[in-house]
Amino acid sequence: MVKRLIESSVRRWVMLSRRYWIAVLVLAAISAVVGVEYVHERLGINTNTADMISRKLEWRQRDIDFNHQFPQFTDTLVVVIDGDSPDLVNRAAAGLSRELMRNKELITGVQRPGHSAFFERNAFLYLDTAELARLADDLSAGQPLLERLSRDPSLFAVAQLFDDAINARDQFKSDSLDRFSTAVVQAIDAVLAGRFYQLSWQRLMSADATAAA
């Protein structure tokens, strides 16, 4: 009985569809358009794994409140740059920051820790007394070097300065002269071997051989 009723209903629908086929096509087209619009507006894929955790959990509520109070710490990407010298790292970081800041549609802001305008002016205030005194001594000892190189940064001037430093060894700290001679020799060896090398003046002027950016 049920089978006959279903067959009769299907037969009746088929006959009506054949008779009013234009109306059926129009309704099908309208349904397709409405369906596509609904999917476009209402359906999507959420790739945030944090939303898989219940918002009823206490620690999850605190996390949501933290993100609401400090939105600058959400949706962030940390880029760590490593290099052979602080100078190369600073140059790469500056170039990357400039390129990222050009894409205003996807990136709302770029920050380089320790390189804001405030830290550029007040960085020395964050050194302790011993570090500040050591930095002052290094800059004082390197002042003649910097002054001569600022007037003539050519390779001939560097070689001449190196020769003068050797002849006047008593006027230089032994470790400063050793760092300078080692850096120059490494640069020459790299050039002769066809390798890229950039002498790090920041590391050269620092007493700490591992000085970083």
pLDDT digits (tens, 9 = 90+) for 78-111: 899 988 778 888 889 989 998 988 888 888 888 8
Which run of H or of E encompasses 145? Answer: helix 143-151
Q: What DSSP line would sit under 118-130, residue for residue?
A: HHHHHGGGGS-HH
pLDDT digits (tens, 9 = 90+) for 62-83: 999 998 898 877 878 889 998 8
Q: Which two tokens stand for residue 140?
A: 């004082």
For the chain, which residues make up each domain, given as ranges?
A: 1-46, 128-204
pLDDT tens per residue across span 27-50: 999 999 998 888 888 887 778 788
Cα–Cα dist 200/206, whole Å: 10
Buried b (16+ CB within 10 A) or exposed e, 170-202: eebeeebbebbeebbeeeeeeeeeeeeeeebbe
> 54 with 64: CB under 8 angstroms?
no
Confidence of residue 211 (pLDDT cuts 50, 70, 90): very low
Q: How far apart are CA 30 and CA 22, in angstroms?
A: 12
Cα-Cα-Cα-Cα dihedral sign, residues 166, 169, 171, 172 = positive
Contact between residue 116 and residue 97 where contact means Cβ atoms under 8 Å apart: no
pLDDT in tens, 130-159: 888 887 877 776 676 767 777 877 777 777
Average pLDDT estimate for 100-128: 82
What's residue 210's pLDDT?
Answer: 45
Q: What is the pLDDT of residues 151-205, one digit of tens each?
A: 877 777 777 777 776 676 655 555 666 777 777 788 788 888 888 877 777 766 6
Residue 14 has pLDDT above 60, yes or no: yes
User: pTM of the full predicted structure?
Assistant: 0.49
Confidence class of residue 209 from pLDDT cuts 50, 70 and 90? very low
